[in-house]
Chains A and B, each alone.
Chain A
Amino acid sequence: MEFAQTINIIAGLILAPLLSGVINRVKALFAGRTGQPLLQPYFDVWKLLRKGAVYSSTTTWVFKAGPVVGLASALAALCLVPAGGAGGFFSFEGDIFLLAGLLALMRFFTVSAALDTGSAFEGMGASREVQFSALAEPALLLGLAAAARKTGSVSLAGILGALPQMNPADAAPVFALISVAVYLVFLCENARIPVDDPNTHLELTMIHEVMVLDHSGPDFAFITYGAALKMWVLGSLLAGLAAPLRTGFLWADVAAAAAVVFGLAAVTGVVESTMARLKMVRVPHLLMGALVLSAVAYMIMLR
C-alpha cells in the first residue's frame, strides 16, 4: 500500500504539467490548428529553470518567498490527495481542511508577492483573485462537508474510499451536485476559461497571470509547475468524487483515476473552446452558483 501511494505522488509529479498540454491540444484541435507539442509545458519549465531571475529593487523577501511557498504548498497538497483506491501519502481525520488551507496558503503568498512589487496591475489581479476565491473556497469546503456527511468520514481517504461501496441510487444525486460544484471551483482555481483566460495578454482582463508578471526564471518555473500540481490535485479530487471506479486491482484503479484526470483535462479543453470568458462582474455569479450547488447537496441530506 505504501508503495502504491508513493507511485501516486511520483505519477502526479511527472504527469501534472501534461494536463495543460492536453488542454492546449484539445483547444488546438477545435480551432483546426496543429497546436503546440504535447510536452510544451515541460519544455517551458525546463527553459525557465536554466535562466537567471531578475528582482526589482523595490521588492522584499516576500517576493522571493512567493513562488517557493507556493510550490511547497502544492507539493504538500499532492501528498494529501488519494487517487484510485490508494490513500494519500498522509491521511488523517480532518485533512480536508488542511487541503483547503494549503491551497489558501499558496494563494496568500502569490497575492502577497504580487502586492510586494507595488505594480498597479498586479494589485488589480491580486484583488480579483482574493475576491473570487472568497466565493470559491466556501463552495469547495461546503461540497467536501456534504461529502463528509454522506460518507461519515472527515478525511479525504475516508470519503473517497467509502464512495465506491455506496448504493449508487442513494449517493448519485448528492455526489453529482458536489462534482459540478467542485468542477466550477476547479475552473476558477486553475484560472481556466469561464473565469479567467490563461492565454490573455491584456493586463486589464487578467486575474492569475497578471499576478505573476514580475516573476522570472526559476521563480516563474516554480509558479508554472506549482499551478500544474494544483490542477492535478484538484483534478484527482474531482475524479475521485465524480468517477469512483474500482476494478479490484490496485494498479488498474490508480491508472483509471489518472485516466479520469486526463479525461477531465480534455473536457476542460472542450469547455474552453465552446465558451467565452465571462464578464468580470459575472464571475461571482458563477461561483455563487457553485456555492448554491454545494449548499443544496449539503441540505438535502438534512433529514
Chain B
Amino acid sequence: MPVFIEMLMIVLILLDVVLLGVSRLGAFVRAVAVQGVVLGALTLVANSGNLTLRIAALAAVSMAVKGFLFPVMLERAMRGAGVRREIEPFVSFVTSMAACIVMLGVSLFLGWRLPLPDGGAGMPLVVPAAILTMLTGLFILVTRKKAVTQVVGYLTFENGIYAFGVVAVGEVNAIIEFGVLLDVFVAVFAMGIAIYQINREFDHIDTDHLSMLKG
C-alpha cells in the first residue's frame, strides 16, 4: 500500500498549498474539510492489512467530524457573524505560497533527519507531508486575521499530527486519536460560540483588534 499512502500524502501537500493560496473563506473551510476526509481515507489505507472495527470506526468518525460537522459549524458561525467572504491576510497570497515552498524544503529536510522507525520503506513522503501540514497550520495561525481562520489553522495543525500518528505509530494509538478528536471537536465548538460572541460584542471578528484590549 505504500504507493497509495504516497499519493494521499501528495494530495495532503497540495491541500496545504490550497489552504495558503485560496482567497475565499468558504473555499478555505472546504479545503480543510477535504483534508479531513483524505486523512480518514489514509487511516483505512495505512491499516488495510489488519482492518479492525476500531480502525474503521476511527476513520468513519474522523471523516464525519472533520469532513462534515466542522465545516457546517464554521459556516453557521460565519453566517451568524456576517463575516465578509474574503480572507484578509497579513502576508499576501503569493508570498504565502512562496513560503509554502520554503516550508516544504524544511519539512523534507526534517523528514530525512527523522526517518520512520519501521515500515517507512517506500514511503519517504509521510513525515515531510505531516510536518508541512503542521507548519501550514502554524503559518495560518500567525498570518491570517479572522477568528475563523484561527480555527482552521488549528484544525490544519491537528491534521498534521493525525497524519503522522496514523501512519507512523499505527493502530496502537487509536484510542488516543479518539480522545484528540473529541478535544478538537469541543475546541471548534467552543470557538464557534466564541466567534459569535466576539462578533456580538465588537461588530467584527478581526483578532488583530483584540490586542488593543490589553490597554
Residues of A within 8 A of B (CB): 169-170, 172-173, 177, 282, 284-285, 288-289, 291-293, 295-296, 299-300, 302-303
Contacts and interface: CB of A to CB of B under 8 A. Distances in A.
A134 to B, nearest CB: 12
5 tightest A-B CB contacts, nearest first: A169-B3, A295-B101, A288-B94, A288-B97, A173-B10
Interface of B: 3, 6-7, 10, 13-14, 17, 21, 23, 93-94, 97-98, 100-101, 104-105, 108, 112, 124-125, 128
* SS class, residues of chain A in contact with chain B: helix
14 contacts: A170-B3, A172-B7, A285-B23, A285-B94, A289-B21, A292-B97, A295-B101, A296-B14, A296-B104, A299-B101, A299-B104, A299-B108, A300-B125, A303-B124
Given A285-B21, A288-B98, A292-B21, 16 more contacts: A169-B3, A173-B10, A284-B94, A285-B93, A285-B97, A288-B21, A288-B97, A289-B17, A289-B97, A292-B100, A292-B101, A296-B14, A299-B101, A299-B105, A299-B108, A300-B108
B135 to A, nearest CB: 14
A236 to B, nearest CB: 26
B205 to A, nearest CB: 24
B10 A177 contact: yes
A300 B10 contact: yes
Contacts of A302: 108
A169 B125 CA distance: 15
A177 B3 CA distance: 16
Given A169-B3, A284-B94, A288-B97, A296 B21 contact: no
A133 to B, nearest CB: 16
